[in-house]
Structure 1
């Protein structure tokens, strides 16, 4: 490399050569994951497991819901779980502008990713400068969610779910999305080509257990599909990390048990329940989630004798006091964290009772018994958390106690009884704003990791984090969408703070999974693009974004030497 000193009159040709050589310090291409040489087993195969189970499941197959075609005319009306019964669920769903498939109706065979797609983009001018390396066992990967990428919602025996009703009629639906149900082999190939080693995905209960109720048949087509997906990931040299996609409260035990039995032999890390705060924030729902989670944990370790890790995954935009010097603001932030995290984490990680703020505020709340606490305590091998951003917290105007005491109050802040804002005490935004609620808040993130570790003393898995660049979807030129520097800033700053947390704060962070590996359906919206790849909604073609290269390259260059 040339050394250029000020005032030496370097020829233009030498300057150009210097720039070219400097850019080559980075790898020219992304480095793909090597093919596996062995496959570890973490539990007995299903054929052995099923012999020892007291619970067994009947399996069945159903057709596909195509309005106006054969599914409606099924004649097996005497079978309460037959084709006619399955079809009637779709008739009752009454979906508008329903589309069954997009371009594909069968699994697409993968093709190699051309090397021209794997050339690293130019660096941003500023970037992390630390020299820390990731621990040898650090987990790094990407995440996706079936409901947001699969499409094929009425095909191969899947039942309708609330997600089909979630978005208003004038908003995009999940009918097609990214057609990952048919394109999963290519999507996995693209991840492996980038050097991604872990893939976190969800398995939706509506595809596995169409009739919802305990004792109803399991969909064999779903079992076969996710079997092949898992094998495809392993064949690509990657590791899988499945999770159940927000099951109904009555399913929080049954659906994961089915999946653990079938797939535990090949899966080293499991998430029992995904972001329960989103759908179980009432006392009855929370109580069921915690007890079901404990059952799943004991089934995995005690019944299956599995040797992998299993845990719960919580969501929380970490609360920071608006004025750290004001004790009432600090107490408000504490209450916010208790009601978002402590409500689940106190019993599971500490063996402690529900927080006082929960018991005194949520209608119907009652303490766990000593025997329940004993059964629930230590039932997570890691603390899964989705900490996308921070939120600024201060007390309700009338104070927390008056707000919390008035159960009939129409106060929109109940039951938290704290204000959540995005500006600090001086009126500045807490960070660079995205297309949605996410702000770039890396220093708060580090404080949060410190809080989690010192409060709950469990290895932390940052199970989702990501950033939708403002107005990215409005950019007409594809190249402008791909050069997503704000997302790179988000990822590199957050991952840098993870390294500082590990080495400077003594926090045990076991891994981080970026959300999402591809732009997807954000529950009625395609403009909030969280993806590390773009998707052409007409052709389903994917393109890598700059942030994907930046993030993977950052991690790869900071892995410990294997010499």
Structure 2
């Protein structure tokens, strides 16, 4: 009965989606923020003791090795980003690296981040600084992470240190990366009580927001939401809805969609084989529309968007990284044309990296074979040229048509995206 109903629904809605596609959207505004995203633990290597250094060592995970050694190759990677024509370079200042013990700050590692920021600015880009990308020091892990109320106090002391050090640099601030997924990890890894951990993350964000506005007046602060199709309005009650009064923009991470004719995400292994999910580019339009509806007074920023390939090989469906990038940018432009206040878009990620237990999923504009290539050379994918063209033209050209088909009855925003399809 259920399959018959879905088939009927798809047939009934085909006419709605079969309307002639409009001409390509107008270019984005001149002040639109094109960017790239990275994170510390996933790319830096030389990782100190932390919760994730410990998790990575557990059975079933691929050895961490040295990630892609951003710690010592950041200058060249920052130049690669600048050559794309982007305006924003996102990175995280790893708490575990700068405060290896409760009573000690590592000035060498702080100086490293000083130079990262200096080189980003010198290359004509704006820093987007993430205070917490799921990693905390081993001494915090010994105290059971976000289960311990003392973690909030210690975390805010680190936040104050970082914000004070990098104030006045035009930074965009991200307090906590994808808190919904972070909470799920805390429950899995530390057996934390979800409500307790959520309370502490909320306290941390609210405190950091106030610190940024105290120490770095005029800077914009947010947390980036992991878009999980169909359930965000429910799961946001744990975090985002509780910090809505302390957001200057809504950060959104969009990777996967859902529709009547694309259910590939259901039951997919998003950790070990995300390339098996059929992308749904038009879903980013509906994800943005949902948050524009829910937070009408706040601008939107796509903090992460990207596509996984299988261990350096072509995807089985033949869809290329350049096609994926252009198609998603097309739908971001459509969102802007339809009145959504989108101020930026970051690609995840600049390079392949350690995807939380495995090097097999490859998301990078530049591919790096951390397993077989001891030189960790960066090799450009077809999306490098595509992104340069996008930033130069302020988007895809007017005559562009997406390579990937539109969805039939999108369910990205529940029934709303099906019953109110894009124009």
Give the TM-score normalised by the residue count of structure 2.
0.74
User: Is the CA contact (8 Å cut-off) linking 1:517 and 1:532 kept in structure 2?
Assistant: yes
| Residues 520-545 of structure 1, C-alpha deviations (whole Å, 9 max, x = no match) | 11122111001110124311111111
Instruction: Show the 5 A alignment for 1:504-523.
Output: 504=338, 506-523=339-356
1:144 equivalent to 2:144? Answer no
Deviation at 1:293, TM superposition (A): 0.9
Structure 1 match to 2:9: none
User: Is the CA contact (8 Å cut-off) linking 2:333 and 2:395 kept in structure 1?
Assistant: no
1:345 equivalent to 2:240? Answer yes
For 1:426 and 1:387, the matched residues in 2 are separated by 19
1:190 equivalent to 2:80? Answer yes
Relative distance call for 1:252 and 1:390 in structure 2 (3 A) is: farther
1:554 to 390, 399, 407: 390
Deviation at 1:447, TM superposition (A): 1.4
Rg larger in structure? 1
Alignment gaps of 5+ in structure 2 = 1-21, 137-144, 185-193, 397-423
Structure 2 match to 1:9: none
Structure 2 match to 1:202: 92
1:260 to 135, 143, 163: 163
1:440 to 261, 279, 284: 279
Relative distance call for 1:427 and 1:314 in structure 2 (3 A) is: closer
Deviation at 1:145, TM superposition (A): 1.1
For 1:159 and 1:171, the matched residues in 2 are separated by 17
Query: Helix, strand or coil: the match of 1:240?
Result: strand
Query: Helix, strand or coil: the match of 2:362?
Result: coil
For 2:124 and 2:367, the matched residues in 1 are separated by 24
2:307 to 449, 467, 485: 467
Relative distance call for 1:547 and 1:385 in structure 2 (3 A) is: same
Structure 2 match to 1:238: 125
Deviation at 1:132, TM superposition (A): 0.8
Query: Helix, strand or coil: the match of 1:442?
Result: coil
Deviation at 1:161, TM superposition (A): 3.2
User: Is the CA contact (8 Å cut-off) linking 2:35 and 2:347 kept in structure 1?
Assistant: yes
Alignment gaps of 5+ in structure 1 = 1-127, 320-335, 350-377, 392-423
Relative distance call for 1:257 and 1:473 in structure 2 (3 A) is: same
Structure 2 match to 1:379: 246
1:279 equivalent to 2:182? Answer yes
Instruction: Show the 5 A alignment for 1:71-470.
Output: 130-153=24-47, 158-166=48-56, 168-169=58-59, 171-211=61-101, 213=102, 216-244=103-131, 245-246=133-134, 247=136, 248-249=145-146, 250=151, 251-281=154-184, 282-301=194-213, 303-319=214-230, 336-349=231-244, 378-391=245-258, 424-425=259-260, 429=264, 435-436=273-274, 438-457=277-296, 458-469=298-309
User: Is the CA contact (8 Å cut-off) linking 2:35 and 2:346 kept in structure 1?
Assistant: yes
Relative distance call for 1:426 and 1:436 in structure 2 (3 A) is: closer
Deviation at 1:291, TM superposition (A): 1.7
Query: Helix, strand or coil: the match of 1:162?
Result: helix
For 2:256 and 2:358, the matched residues in 1 are separated by 20
Query: Helix, strand or coil: the match of 1:538?
Result: coil
Deviation at 1:225, TM superposition (A): 0.7
For 1:454 and 1:291, the matched residues in 2 are separated by 26
Relative distance call for 1:163 and 1:558 in structure 2 (3 A) is: same
Relative distance call for 1:447 and 1:165 in structure 2 (3 A) is: closer
Query: Helix, strand or coil: the match of 1:473?
Result: coil
Structure 1 match to 2:337: 503
Deviation at 1:426, TM superposition (A): 5.9
For 2:176 and 2:86, the matched residues in 1 are separated by 24
Deviation at 1:228, TM superposition (A): 0.7
For 2:176 and 2:264, the matched residues in 1 are separated by 33
| Residues 183-230 of structure 1, C-alpha deviations (whole Å, 9 max, x = no match) | 11111122222322211011111101112x4xx222211211100110
Query: Helix, strand or coil: the match of 1:539?
Result: coil
Deviation at 1:306, TM superposition (A): 1.9
For 2:382 and 2:23, the matched residues in 1 are separated by 19
For 2:235 and 2:391, the matched residues in 1 are separated by 30
Deviation at 1:318, TM superposition (A): 2.4
1:545 equivalent to 2:381? Answer yes
Instruction: Show the 5 A alignment for 1:19-58.
Output: none
For 1:511 and 1:132, the matched residues in 2 are separated by 15
Deviation at 1:488, TM superposition (A): 1.9
Query: Helix, strand or coil: the match of 1:174?
Result: coil
Give the TM-score normalised by the residue count of structure 1.
0.56
User: Is the CA contact (8 Å cut-off) linking 2:177 and 2:225 kept in structure 1?
Assistant: yes
Relative distance call for 1:263 and 1:338 in structure 2 (3 A) is: same
Comparing both structures, which one devotes a greater share of its residues to helix?
2
User: Is the CA contact (8 Å cut-off) linking 2:25 and 2:330 kept in structure 1?
Assistant: no
1:488 equivalent to 2:378? Answer no
For 1:304 and 1:340, the matched residues in 2 are separated by 31
